[in-house]
Chains A and B, each alone.
Chain A
Amino acid sequence: MFVKPLSVIMPCLAILLSYQSTEAAPMGFSESTMAMGDFNNNWREAFINYAITPRDAFGVSATYMRADDKTKTRTLEELTYTRLLKRWNMPHAQANLWFMGGLGMLQGEDKQAGNDQSFDEIMVTPGVQFDYETTRVYLAATHRFYRASDINHDYSAVRAGFSFYETEYDRTQPWFIVEARNMNGLSEKIEITPMLRFINKNFFIEAGVNNSREPRFNFMYIF
């Protein structure tokens, strides 16, 4: 019942707005290194990048993906580039338009009755994210292509949430975030994950349980 309206809302938001999985921002400030992790049963990603300018970051990423029925597994190692295309700094809000892209090697395995296949291919992963945030509200929409020859695992996600209260800069702020996401060709479901997010000036963590009752954990850290 909740999924059906989302299937309408998601494309609309994607058009109106348009990252990779989870976060407030996919890169840190100039000359900083950012590490990120996103883990659940079917999607596990570890990512690190270095911001060479306030707007550009290069990094490496490793992603493991698995189909809901466990018949397909994918492992992707990429070199990534992140670009802040546009930032809107408002008195009580910030909005960003990001480009994220990667080029890497995909190792795939398809298990079918009597016909198991494994393959290696070059994969490209260009995508965009739009996010809008105040001290109380967070909205984000992401679409990223995951393409290789005869492979389409395009990723779409929308997120919305609110903070329980405003905090001082030195204090940890709790948020409630809901994410809906889908990866084409690996899952026919829309994965919906309500999460608790804790933001501090030194760390960013999220934890929740999705609509298949699987746990999810995300983190970000800037060095």
Chain B
Amino acid sequence: MKKLLFTSLILSTLLSNVAFATQTIKANVNGMVCAFCAQGIEKKMRALSQTKDVYVNLKQRVVAVELKDGQTLSNDTVKDLIKDAGYEVTSIEVSEHPIAQIKAGYETMEKEKK
């Protein structure tokens, strides 16, 4: 009985972690120099049903897309949407950090540069 309870506890902890794990796709983008022109990227990303939030950083050439809980999105879809908006993706990675944390990281980095 104890063993069953322990296993259930472990499983429920794991499952709850999976259910609430944040997934953010972060792309480095070439050619993104103007907010007015880059709005296409944001609009295309926000139109996806999987998207929770979008972050664009022109200085760091980064576009990050945070997904809703339990949603998935392929890197290729992100790449294609950015390409369709007129830009070129040089690298792409999946992060477990939410956009708020990624944004705070860049802000700290820029403050330190000053």
Contact = CB atoms under 8 A, between A and B. Distances in A.
Contacts, number: 86
B20 interface: no
A30 B33 contact: no
B44 A92 contact: no
B31 A87 contact: yes
A204 B85 CA distance: 18
Contacts of A91: 30, 61, 90
Given A30-B85, A89-B31, A201 B59 contact: no
Nearest to B57: A169
B70 interface: no
Contact of B34 (A24, A29, A32, A202): A24
Contacts of A25: 37
B85 A168 contact: no
Grouping DSSP codes into helix (H, G, I), strand (E, B) and loop, the B interface class, with mixed when no group exceeds half, is: mixed
Interface residues of A, number: 34
A94 interface: yes
Nearest to A27: B86
Interface string A151-177: 000000000000000111111010000
Interface of B: 29-44, 56-59, 61, 83-88, 90
